[in-house]
Amino acid sequence: MAKLDYLLSILWLLRSHKKMTAQQLAERLELSVRTVYRYIDTLDMSGVPIISESGHGGGFRLPDSFLSVPLFFELTELKAMEHSALLARQADYPFTDALEKALTKIEHRLQESQLEDLRRHVGSIHIPLPSQSALLHPRLRELEQAIARRETLVLQYAKSFSGSVEERHIDPYGLIYRLGKWYLIAYCHQREALRVFRVDRMNSLSVTGRTFEMPEHFSVHDYMSHIHEYQDHNTKSKAKEPTLVTVRLQGRSEVLDTLCNQWFLQPYLVARSNDDEAEFRMHPDWMLQYMPYLLLSFGKGVKVLEPQQLRTVLSETARDLAAYYED
């Protein structure tokens, strides 16, 4: 058995037999008496209140108030949980408070030396907190509850921060966190199709009192991984043979890596050479709608090799932006 199994076995034996000597424990577990003493010391250091009685009729026992076998965590496991809470806070995870409360309960069972060791390691990693003006956890909690209850929602949504607000009736299927942003995958009644909504662009939510049935075996992960197939399917319903264009980009390796890791571009990635090029295949309408603004955010770190149409639109967009600030 592994060490942890022996530790738990000692606790179970003490709970069931009330009191046992080191020799009795050694015989039951087929260990040496010295090893039993070492495991008893480990349990004591972990905060288990084992009572040791010496002399004739003595042995080891647990107090009557000890009702449950505690959980044992290694330092690396405790660090992982503490860092997870920091990451959850940075991501504006809607149940961060509950996670931190659970960690506090665990910390209360640790000895002072363990806490000091844990704090020393946890303090070596610093994760910036989100802007207080952009906290989304109340909205995320509303969405999570609506998803669990299968409730249809009325959503006031801005397609862009400067754009007008539209009302949408949606069936929320699931939330996904990607590159610092939360997204909702939902069935839009107006569009009669699945759509992806950015949570930080939702102005308000309200329930309709109606419920919906989610498609059997639907997976948010699978949908996001194959979103281009859904889009291509919708395109084929309008044009039997949609024409895809090749987009070839050249740039610094780290910039291309960032582009290729964008979830909405991953399905279109065709090739990523070892040098400084990446190739995508996508519908021209989608390319012209999203790619110019995305590529402008990388400045001179990336260059469009083809198609010429994208180069032209990118140039026009840049000139419009320059003229806006010159005015």
What are the structural domains, with CATH classification, of the chain? Answer: 3-61 (1.10.10.10), 75-122 (no CATH), 136-218 (2.30.30), 245-326 (no CATH)
Q: Which residue type is seen at 160?
A: S
Which of 109, 41, 49, 50 minimizes the C-alpha distance to 78?
Answer: 109
123, two tokens: 């303090």
Question: In the predicted model, is pLDDT for residue 232 greater than 50?
Answer: no
Range in 191-205, 222-236, 277-291 with the lowest mean pLDDT: 222-236
What CA–CA distance (Å, rounded) separates 318 from 298? 12
Range in 5-9, 13-17, 197-201, 239-243 with the lowest mean pLDDT: 239-243
Average pLDDT estimate for 130-142: 77
Q: Is 188 helix (H, G, I), strand (E, B) or coil?
A: strand
Q: Which residues pair with 269 in a beta bridge?
A: 280
Summary mean pLDDT of the chain: 84
Residue 166 belongs to what H/E stretch?
strand 165-178
Helix ranges restricted to H, the chain: 3-17, 22-29, 33-45, 75-90, 96-107, 112-122, 137-149, 220-225, 227-236, 253-260, 284-296, 308-326
Question: In the predicted model, is pLDDT for residue 83 greater than 90?
Answer: no
CA distance to 21, 49, 295, 302, per residue, from 25 (Å): 6, 17, 68, 68
Is the model more confident about 227 or about 224? Answer: 224
Q: What is the pLDDT of residues 4-63, one digit of tens each?
A: 778 888 888 887 777 889 999 999 999 999 999 999 888 887 777 888 888 888 898 888
State which of 7-21, 181-195, 210-224, 234-248 shows the largest mean pLDDT: 181-195
What integer pLDDT is reported at residue 108 of this predicted model?
76
Residue 167: which pLDDT band, with cuts at 50, 70 and 90?
Answer: very high
Average pLDDT estimate for 61-76: 69
Q: Which residue type is seen at 61?
A: R
